[in-house]
Amino acid sequence: MTTILKLGGSVVTDKDRRETVDDAALANAADAIAEADTEGLVVVHGGGSFGHPNAADRNVSATEGTTDAADVRAIHRAMGELLTTVTDELGAAGVPAVPVRPLSAGYRTVAGDVELSTETIAMMLEEGFVPILHGDVFATAGRGATIVSGDELVVALAAELDAERIGVCSTVPGVLDDEGDVVPTIERYAEAETVLGGSGSTDVTGGMAAKVESLLDATAPAYVFGLEDIGPFLSGAEAGTRIGPSP
Ligand SMILES: Nc1ncnc2c1ncn2[C@@H]1O[C@H](COP(=O)(O)OP(=O)(O)OP(=O)(O)O)[C@@H](O)[C@H]1O
Ligand SMILES: C=C(C)CCOP(=O)(O)O
């Protein structure tokens, strides 16, 4: 069984302090993953205070491209630093984590769709490794390079690897309604549109609204939940808000 887990950049970094890892939150996430059965698990982490400010400085987003190779290198380098930290922390906790760099494995089409080669990732899984990917810059038809969100990558990975479940861990316990309560399920965008906002911090990929929009296209049920629900999610429980049809 294949499971895709995104660790939100808002969880593993302090999203309001540039290029700062949230060491305690990352250690908690790593421990929760290490305690679970990691066979068939792929992890993707978000940009947080590494990817988003570096992309925003250069006016690059999921739709605004750059043709300057120096921009591509700078954003990719910042994400590489976070990838090394996340991979090392997971490894130290006992997870057989290995890094995978999306820039070299995919691109965005002229229609804006994400294409990702997953043969290497499938072989890593077969050999018992846990591949770790991240939101990144992607060569984009007609626009140079744009940002690919981890939320888009989890959807592409789930389709290509025939995953059964997607988990998206963020700083919130789920999608919240006007009263601050967790919305249990969202099957159509219109059901939640009025409560969905962007991110509270610098974010070039659209925060919660874009997350839900991406996850509604997934081929597997997706769950949005907080740090405390990584363990329950990985052991097969329902957690936070389920996006998409019932499993
Ligand atoms: N209805 C809502 N329910 C919950 N959070 C919401 C809602 N509307 C907007 N948000 C915001 O969305 C944020 C989560 O999206 P964000 O993209 O920042 O998270 P992330 O994926 O963890 O981070 P990153 O994009 O860096 O990977 C929350 O911290 C909150 O500020
Ligand atoms: C900003 C960059 C480079 C990655 C964004 O990924 P996300 O935080 O998952 O949306």
21-47 pLDDT per residue, tens: 999 999 999 999 999 999 999 999 999
Q: Which domains does the chain have, with CATH numbers?
A: 3-243 (3.40.1160.10)
Q: Is 176 in the pocket of ligand 1 (CB under 6 A)?
A: yes
Q: 79-118 as b/e, with b when 16 or more CB fall inside 10 Å?
A: bbebbebbbebbbebebbbeebebbebbbbeeeeebebeb
* Predicted pLDDT at 199: 86
If one residue of 45, 82, 169, 208 were mutated to test the ligand 1 pocket, choosing by the most ligand atoms within 8 A of its CB, it would be 208
The pLDDT value given to residue 197: 87
Model pLDDT, residue 209:
93
For residue 150, the ligand 1 atom closest to its alpha carbon is 27
Which helix or strand (DSSP H or E) is residue 146 part of?
Answer: strand 144-148
Q: How far is the CA of 156 from the centre of ligand 2 (A)?
A: 15
Please state the rounded mean pLDDT for residues 162-166.
97
Task: Check if 49 has its Cβ closer than 6 Å to any atom of ligand 1.
Answer: no
pLDDT at 188: 93
The Cβ-side half-sphere exposure at 99, using a 13 Å CA radius, reads 16
Q: Is 193 in the pocket of ligand 1 (CB under 6 A)?
A: no
Nearest CA to ligand 2 atom 10: 149
With 90 as the cut, is the pLDDT of residue 153 above it? Answer: yes
> 34 CA to middle of ligand 1, Å?
25
User: Which amino acid appears at position 65 of this protein?
Assistant: G
Q: Tell me, what DSSP letter sits at residue 237?
A: -
- Using pLDDT thresholds of 50, 70 and 90, give the confidence band for residue 243: very high
Q: How much is the average pLDDT of 202-211?
A: 92
Which tens digits make up the pLDDT trace of 41-99? 999 999 999 999 999 999 999 999 999 999 999 999 999 999 999 999 999 999 999 99
Note the pLDDT of residue 246: 76
pLDDT computed for residue 52 by the predictor: 98
Distance (Å, whole) CA 167 – CA 150: 12
